[in-house]
Chain A
């Protein structure tokens, strides 16, 4: 499945970025890279809404559980 980023640029200057086809939380890295590159053109974005898709939500929850467990093992 290809990785896809769909960016909708509205006439009022707002944008909507839809990331799909990524494995685990790698879509967050892609979003960060895209923000960095846009910043080189002077475009700064202020996030108004972040909606994880179910697969990312599950990956983030697993990650949090893993971090929590690692923390407990260390203490």
Chain B
């Protein structure tokens, strides 16, 4: 009747509208967080990002851009100088938030009532169907 599956996930050809939503959520959770279409290089010059999606926070003030490889795989671009930890954390949060949003939408498309809760470093999504 039931089972448990554990899996690695990879993101290829993401839905850019959903990705923007994920970035906005992550931006809201950080001081000075905002979404822009560019990052800044070490000289403060804007560098366009092909997806038009880059996240800035107070700490990551040169931005973290989201690019897609030729194969459509998600990749991150930016200058992590002196903010390596925050840079890595933001990448994790973006991926986690994107997967969570997609899961919520998928469960709703299946006719489930879905709700999400942040629990320490995990997001737990519960979908229930009574039919």
Q: Closest residue of chain B to A52, judged by CB? A: B3
CA distance A51 to B6 in the complex (A): 9
Contacts A34-B107, A41-B15 given; does A4 touch B6 at CB 8 Å: no
Annotate B6-24 by CB proximity to A: 1 below 8 A, 0 otherwise: 1111111111001000000
Q: Which residue of B lies closest to A14 (CB)?
A: B8
- Indicate whether B48 reaches chain A with its CB closer than 8 angstroms: no
Which chain A positions have C-beta within 8 A of B129? 2-4
A51 to B5, CA, bound (A): 6
In contact, A56 and B3 (Cβ under 8 angstroms)? yes
Q: How large is the interface on A (under 10, 10 to 19, 20 to 34, 35 or more residues)?
A: 35 or more
Contacts of A65 in B (CB 8 A): none
Q: Does B92 contact A (CB under 8 A)?
A: yes
Chain B: minimal CB distance from A46 (Å): 5
A49 within 8 A of B: yes
Asked if B127 and A15 make an inter-chain contact with CB atoms under 8 angstroms apart, the answer reads no
Q: How many whole Å from B98's CB to the nearest CB in chain A?
A: 8
- Report B-chain residues with C-beta under 8 Å of the C-beta of A46: 7-10
Q: Which residues of A contact B (CB under 8 A)?
A: 2-24, 26-28, 30-31, 33-34, 37-38, 40-53, 55-56, 59
Question: Can you pick out 21 interface pairs between chain A and chain B where the beta carbons lie within 8 Å of each other?
Answer: A7-B127, A9-B103, A9-B122, A11-B93, A11-B121, A13-B8, A13-B9, A21-B2, A22-B1, A31-B3, A34-B110, A40-B106, A41-B105, A43-B14, A46-B8, A50-B5, A51-B5, A53-B3, A53-B4, A55-B1, A56-B3
